[in-house]
Amino acid sequence: MPFGALPAVLNSLSGQREPLTLRPGASCLTWYTCGPTVYDSAHIGHARSYVSFDVMRRVLTDYFGVDVRYQMNVTDIDDKIIQRSAETGEAFTVLARRHEREFFEDLAALHCRPPDWVTRVSEYIPEIAHFIRRIADNGYAYEVASGSVYFDTAAFERRAGHRYGKLKPSAAAAAAATADASLTNGAEPAPASSAATALASEKRQPRDFALWKASKTDAEPGWAVCGLRRGRPGWHIECSAMASLVSCAGSGVLDIHSGGIDLRFPHHDNELAQSEAYYESDQWCRYFVHSGHLHIEGLKMSKSLKNFITIRQVLQRWTWRQVRVLFLMHRYEAGMSYSEAGMADAAAVERQLGEFVRGLDAEMRAVADTVEARYRKPTAAEERLLLQDLPACRARVHQGLCDNLNTPEVLQALLALIREVNAYRTATRQNGGAVNYLALQAVRQYVGRLLAVLGVGYGSPEADAGADIDGRPPDGERWVQTLATFRDEVRNIAIQATAGDHVEVASAVLAACDRLRDQVLPPLGIRLEDRPGHEQALWKRDDPEAIARDVQQRQQAEAERAAVKEARRREMDQRVRDELLQGRTRPQDMFRDRARYSRWRDDGIPTHDAEGKELEKSRVKRLVKEQQRQQKLHAKYLDAQQSGLLEKLNLTDEHA
């Protein structure tokens, strides 16, 4: 694939397509993308953005050969999460982590590469607070009586070089004229309320926005850090702080910032203002890249319209490749509509791509493995394929990728090549001839690698050792993982069964699982490591002798632990035996010793000693306590007698 000049992208800061460039002295592009607010399941609109940016990232790294450092934030504390936590009764931390896991599982299901860095708001509270403090120290923020801190847009614009609302000036101007746009700190205008009125009254002007939100009640999640009143970060400041601390560390400049078009104002404009205020600069980010709106059957997605579709719901009906192809059929910056008809079209295109790749593989395997069969003289048609069609496709694809990643054009170029190749294959068969192996191999390698760049690869015989062309592990590793996963399921079932009526069968299954781990896999160089609970076992490649040695040491340690456990069990059994033997005496009979006492109460407590002298009250109290302890021991004894435990412990003869 080409290496050199980078593509042009639509920069929302200028509204123009601008060539991507590396900063002087930089060896990589730093990229920050707005991640999810984890209060609900991810929907198809999220998929559109993150798949589009995944394609862009793959193209930059795998096609243009540039190193990209990709950071994504996770908003795990904000108003929506707190509200959902209150509605469900689920702790906000538990709620956020659960939806975060689902989100990254959804991205993996769509075959999006994981970020290089994931930064959570809750893990950066002190750093965010310090970021706010520096903005305030620079004269761009003010604290109000409630303890909240606001960004001062007027002070920001008074400084030379600063301009608020770079990404969407019209929206910034409108926000200056009305308070409605700022009442909910970046969300859609909310109905008037006392809380919203109070929030608006705290600001010096409507465009100002919260950097720090003071907690309204003690029950509300909050932190008291860096001299700030107990509270939590505002929505916008988290991205400025975490992107600056990770992606901009040492430079104060971010190369690429991405997100959905709906985030352009106020979220991204506020990020720009905060960051430029922090660094006292007029350029914090060089390129802003936004994905277009996604509608459902032409309508805005909304739960009230019952057209809210989660990623998981989509993947129950369509494959991940079909979903990715749907997005590839649209320019990432353009609006698009998700519909059944659109998905059917995408499925047809994906089917065409998959059948071509698999058919080509089968046809190439059928060619005899001889030099004569594989390296024969090309015909005029084959020369045209190699010398005209394939180079023309390469040039068209390259031009499309350089033009703001025009993936619809790239797909059309690929489909045109596929049609030409299929026509050649059909004509060759009809004429009773044999396809030219080298011609098909050249096409297969190019198409396979390009599809891998787009994230819809089908694997390739020519893949580099250690990874398939689409970034997945090679077949052998997938087989091992499948076996390990199956063993996890069987082992977990057996563990649960040990608590039931099938202990012997479950123990045999667990023993078989252990044999697979300790005897079958080690000679193959596979180390399988069980983890606690129902966590999936880890498997690793290693030296067979090293694995065998570790297995032996583990088995020895397990035997030692078992011996200690058995000793404790015997000690406990002896303690139980002693208690039962002591408890066989009835409480009312325990003091019937005429050598010590001469008179007793009806309950068996002595009142006079052997000489007829009345016992002191303190001594009687002690005897009562001793009898109470004996009552408990005797009750245990009777229970053991009833349950058959006495017989099991061979204590019946002693009792008799």
Residue 156 near residue 271, CB atoms below 8 Å: no
Amino acid at 244: S
Can you give the pLDDT at residue 651? 77
Which residues lie below 8 Å from residue 562, measured CB to CB, with a gap of 6+? none
Label the pairing between strands 538-541 and 526-529: antiparallel
SS3 206: coil
Can you give the pLDDT at residue 78? 94
What is the token pair recorded at 22? Answer: 């590396």
Residue 147 near residue 228, CB atoms below 8 Å: yes
SS3 218: coil
Can you give the pLDDT at residue 221? 94
Tell me the DSSP string of 449-500: HHHHHTT-----TTPPTTS-TTSPPPHHHHHHHHHHHHHHHHHHHHHHHTTT
Q: How many CB atoms lie within 10 A of CB 456?
A: 24
pTM of the model: 0.71
What is the token pair recorded at 614? Answer: 């009345």
Q: How many CB atoms lie within 10 A of CB 124?
A: 19
Can you give the pLDDT at residue 13? 97
Q: How many CB atoms lie within 10 A of CB 374?
A: 14
Can you give the pLDDT at residue 478? 61
Listed as ranges, residues in the chain with pLDDT below 50 are 1-3, 179-194, 461-473, 654-656
Q: Looking up tokens 């989509």, which residue turns up? A: 314
Can you give the pLDDT at residue 355? 86
Residue 169 near residue 139, CB atoms below 8 Å: no
Can you give the pLDDT at residue 415? 98
By CB atoms closer than 10 A (0-12, 13-18, 19+), residue 454 is buried
Can you give the pLDDT at residue 584? 86
Residues in the chain: 656
Can you give the pLDDT at residue 368? 67
Which residues lie below 8 Å from residue 478, measured CB to CB, with a gap of 6+? 472
